[in-house]
Amino acid sequence: MQFTALAFPIFEKSITDYHKWDNVAAIIHNPYPEKSIEYYLYLKNWIDTVQWHLEDIIRDTGIDPVKALEIKRRIDKSNQDRTDLVELIDSYFLEKYRNTRPSEKATLNTESPAWAIDRLSILALKIFHMQKEVERHGTAGDHNDLCRNKLNILLEQRQDLSSAIDQLLEDIESGKKYMKVYKQMKMYNDPDLNPVLYGKK
C-alpha cells in the first residue's frame, strides 16, 4: 500500500471525528495504537483541524481582545505542537530507511517527507470545508458553482501531491534520493532567542 493511501483516510477520519462536536475544546479520542504511525497521523491532523477553527474564530472582527490574545497564544502553541509532530513523523521515515544506502547520484529533496505530508493534511481540511461550501444552502449568486470549481482543483491537487509524496518515498527507499532533516529552530517560543522574552529577564 502506498503511504498516502494510508494517510489520507486517517486525515479524513480525524476531520469527521472533530466535526461530531465542532468545538475547539473537544477532547481527542485517537483510535489508533499509541506510538504507531497511524496514531501520529491522526494526532497531526487533529491539531491541524483544531487550529483551522481557531484561525476562523480569531478573524471575527467583533472578538473580545482578551479572548483574541488567548486564542493567539493557543495558536502559537499549536504551531509548535504541529512542528514537533512533523519532526516525529520524519523520525519514523529515518528509522524505516536507515539501512538504505543512497546511490552516488542520489539527490536531496526540497522538503522532507513529513513536511509534504503536513501539506496533505491541510489539503484534506481544505477539501472538507470546500465541500461544505458546495453543499451550503441560501448562498448568493453563483457561490456554490464557484466553490465546486475550487473543489475540483483541490481534488486534482490531492492527486498530484499524493503521487509526489509516494514517488519521493519510493525514491528514498530505492536510494535515488536521501533524507536530510533539519530541526525547525523556531525562535519566537524560545525565551533564550526571542529578544522580547529574554529582555524581561
Each residue's pLDDT tens digit, 29-63: 999 999 999 999 999 999 999 999 999 999 999 99
Residue 188 pLDDT class (50, 70, 90 cuts): low
Q: What are phi and psi of 108, to 5 degrees?
A: -100, 135
The pLDDT mean for the chain works out to: 94
Rounded distance between C-alpha atoms, residue 11 and residue 4, angstroms: 10
Per the confidence metrics, is the pTM higher than 0.85?
Answer: yes
Q: Give the DSSP per-residue string, 11-22.
A: HHHHHHHHTTT-
H-helix or E-strand spanning residue 108: strand 107-108
How many C-beta atoms surround the C-beta of residue 151 within 10 A?
18
The residue written with cell numbers 512533523 in the block is: 86
